[in-house]
Structure 1
Amino acid sequence: MAVRPAFDRITSQQADVHMDAAVGQAVSEAVVTQAFKSAVQECKFCVTVANPQSEDSPLIAVSEEFETMTGFSRHEILGVNCRFLNQGVDMNPQDLVHLREASATGAPFTAIFPNRKRSGELFLNLLDVRGLTVARNKKTGEDLWYLIGIQADVSELGEEQVPDDHFAELQMMSDFIRDRIITELSEYALSTDIGTSSSFDLLPTPEWRPGARLGSRQLSAAAPVLRPASKPRSRGSQGTMGLQQRMLGLSAAVAIGAFGVASLFFLLRRRLRS
């Protein structure tokens, strides 16, 4: 899409500007958690962050758009596993196996799940999850990493397949979160006293976890749960076009938001040099 080249240039500039401020800064896990909350809470798309290294992989941050899409407030769900969306819903067993593997390793995962909103309404959730390493333990060398989840309600597609280019947009949104966290982590590290609890050294740039992509990306297994009587619609129908318009809007929001993040980088650099 047209916003992608501009987005890539902006995020590259952001990483270069903030690299020097972030390298080697010592932080605590609590500081990292707060940085993630600040990075995602006002994102103009649906994003969650979970801590896979804590028991049961609890959510530590969600965007306002996630609250709007699901009906759950962050006060209800922070600190718990996101399986509350799966209550009373039949899931594809193979996708569940892959999701558990992705949650344990950080390998990228994409699938479409039938989920349930707080109201009880069923919807189809396009879920893209991948692990992001942000720091390493100074003593053990163990990675400190988190699960970044980008989600979208694709219920209007019926039994159509999600176009391939939308998956590229999910990657774009994940990269935007990564660059937001560079800003937030650097600012928190610079403004926080470094004590004995600061046991992690920030990486120069947060790194996506390695691994082959998991998941089916197929809508056919999930759609009958939501709409047993639905019929496939023709290619280019209202369902697909509706999703295309929403993904384009999200991409534009990401690009616009990136300009704001870029300005933060330049302001911080000026402050460090003054």
Structure 2
Amino acid sequence: MTHRILLVEDEKWVRTALRKVIEKINLPFAVVHESSNGMEAWKWLEHSHADIVVTDIRMPVMDGLTLLKQIREKLKQTDTIIVSGHDEFAYAQQAVRLGAFDYFLKPVDTGDITECFRNWLQRYEPDPASTEAQQAENQHIRTPVDQVIHYIESHHRYDLMLAEAAALVHLNSSYFCKLFKQQKGMTFTDFLTSVRMREAVRLLEHTSLRITEIADRLGFADAAYFSNTFKKEVGASPSEYRKRLHPA
């Protein structure tokens, strides 16, 4: 059985890129329609069916959050997945609270889409092997601290604030901070810094992204602050580290 997807995005090239990624993941999903805003999508949904609506947040006429609310109220059999930019993460969080199945950050990663759609299939078409694997994973991710770590790593949330992390697992910041230090032997801030630096090393080694682009991807508002943090943790600035990898 092939599951039907409606793509909603005001930029045509983004819709095309998303459709091509979905076609490549080798799972039983097909894009059956594309819309350039929430109103177009809703009018199509009034006489057609989609199992999943993949939608941008900021669009003219009707935005993604409004579309999500209407789907949740009137189309109980349709799930929504949000696609957002880094600067729209607060909206993406709101979307999840409103009932979105999941969300992606732009640019969309093939691995993230694959994992999300597999999770969706598991929810609606569970098989013994995948159910057993998920149960094993759930046993491993059982503490609030482990849930937050899994969330950071799976969603690439390198800029997650302590208050946001605590809210994800319904704890107050002070208690979550103490719990994290107790279970991991370091503060949440130190842990997040280590995760950021590990990802920074990977990006420096395996991509041609500029230092400012890496800093932005890791949630640093200031590239100089990123460079100073990197040098403190790694022993060399990002540019020095990259030069060592590719000496002239």
* TM-score class, shorter: under 0.3
Greater Rg by CA: 2
TM-score by length of structure 1 reads 0.24
Question: Would you tell me which structure has more helix in proportion to its own residues?
Answer: 2
Question: Would you tell me which structure has more strand in proportion to its own residues?
Answer: 1
Structure with higher RCO (Cα < 8 A, 6+ apart)? 1
